[in-house]
């Protein structure tokens, strides 16, 4: 018996904060048929609101340090402002969206990241995804919209990387669904030449990946992104797509070597 399809779409804060990129993403997402989940970021909005509230933003190696005061801000911004605006917009497009953090229905539990070697504060590393609770929500006909917030099971919220949430949720649901995980950004996908829109690589298998790294076509920050994609595929996710916000069905498809 074949599994039902499930699309999990991750969209970053840079897209969420701009109407010219958010509207195409929401239209594209709402047009996806069948089961779906939206996972969002919102870091730039959190930084702006924090500044208005007099809360200092500290970054280490591009990652946010979440102090007790910053945790209040990201909980308000991610779980409230950003999440509920996305839900309202999707409802207006006929999508029966429900906004959730990891604490709701105990969907995602995390451990607070150890303070060594770097103390990132109230940041969570995902420990467990409640696949049954998410599946029950999906089965009811609702569309989960997941904020990048989890909890420790002891009463504390934790700021958690949205890419990680999308990947761990995809893995957890892959035993029940045929899962496609899409990462939406400002670029059309994996490019041979970022300045040439016609240089999109449409499909990358694991052997393709090794060759593209060896010849230098894929380098720097794209390497860990694709390593994570193949790790997800190795954990049961059917395919991972790296694409633009306006073309969820396009982009670069990452998949295992044909058997």
Task: Tell me the pLDDT tens digit for each residue of 1-55.
Answer: 689 999 999 998 888 888 888 999 999 999 999 999 999 998 889 999 999 999 9
Task: Tell me the pLDDT tens digit for each residue of 224-254.
Answer: 778 888 989 999 999 999 998 878 878 999 9
Cβ contacts of residue 179 below 8 Å, gap of 6+?
Answer: 5, 6, 7, 8, 170, 173, 236, 237, 238
Domains defined along the chain, listed by start: 4-254 (3.40.1160.10)
Quick one: pLDDT band at residue 152, thresholds 50, 70, 90? Answer: very high
110: tokens are 């995390």
Task: Tell me the pLDDT tens digit for each residue of 123-149.
Answer: 999 999 999 999 999 999 999 999 999
Task: Tell me the pLDDT tens digit for each residue of 202-217.
Answer: 999 989 999 999 988 8
Mean confidence (pLDDT) of the chain: 92
Task: Tell me the pLDDT tens digit for each residue of 53-107.
Answer: 999 999 988 888 999 999 999 999 999 999 999 999 999 999 999 999 999 999 9
Alpha-carbon radius of gyration of the chain: 18
Region 143-163 average pLDDT: 97
This prediction's pTM: 0.92
Residue 119 has pLDDT above 90, yes or no: yes
Q: How far apart are the first and last CA of the chain?
A: 20
Biggest alpha carbon distance in the chain? 56
Residue 111 has pLDDT above 90, yes or no: yes
Question: Distance between CA 190 and CA 227 in Å, rounded?
Answer: 13
Region 214-223 average pLDDT: 84
């Amino acid at each position: 018996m074949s599994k039902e399809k499930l699309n999990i779409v991750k969209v970053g804060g840079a897209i969420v904060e701009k109407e010219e990129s958010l509207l195409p993403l929401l239209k594209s997402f709402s047009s996806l048929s069948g089961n779906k989940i939206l996972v969002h970021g919102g870091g730039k909005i959190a930084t702006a609101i924090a500044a208005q509230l007099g809360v200092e933003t500290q970054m280490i190696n591009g990652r946010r340090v979440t102090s007790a005061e910053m945790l209040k801000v990201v909980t308000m911004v991610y779980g409230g402002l950003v999440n509920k605006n996305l839900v309202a917009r999707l409802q207006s497009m006929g999508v029966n969206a429900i906004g959730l953090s990891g604490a709701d229905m105990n969907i995602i539990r995390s451990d607070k990241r150890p303070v060594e070697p770097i103390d990132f504060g109230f940041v969570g590393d995902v420990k467990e995804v409640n696949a049954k609770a998410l599946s029950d929500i999906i089965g009811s006909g609702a569309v989960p919209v997941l904020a990048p917030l989890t909890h420790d099971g002891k009463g504390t919220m934790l700021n958690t990387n949205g890419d990680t949430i999308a990947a761990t949720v995809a893995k957890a649901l892959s035993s029940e669904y045929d899962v496609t995980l899409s990462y939406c950004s400002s670029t059309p996908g994996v490019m041979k030449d970022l300045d040439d829109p016609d240089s999109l690589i449409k499909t990358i298998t694991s052997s393709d990946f090794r060759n593209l790294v060896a010849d230098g076509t894929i380098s720097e920050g794209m390497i860990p992104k694709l390593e994570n994609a193949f790790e997800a595929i190795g954990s049961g996710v059917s395919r991972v797509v790296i694409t633009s916000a306006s073309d969820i069905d396009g982009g670069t498809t990452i998949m295992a070597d044909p058997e």
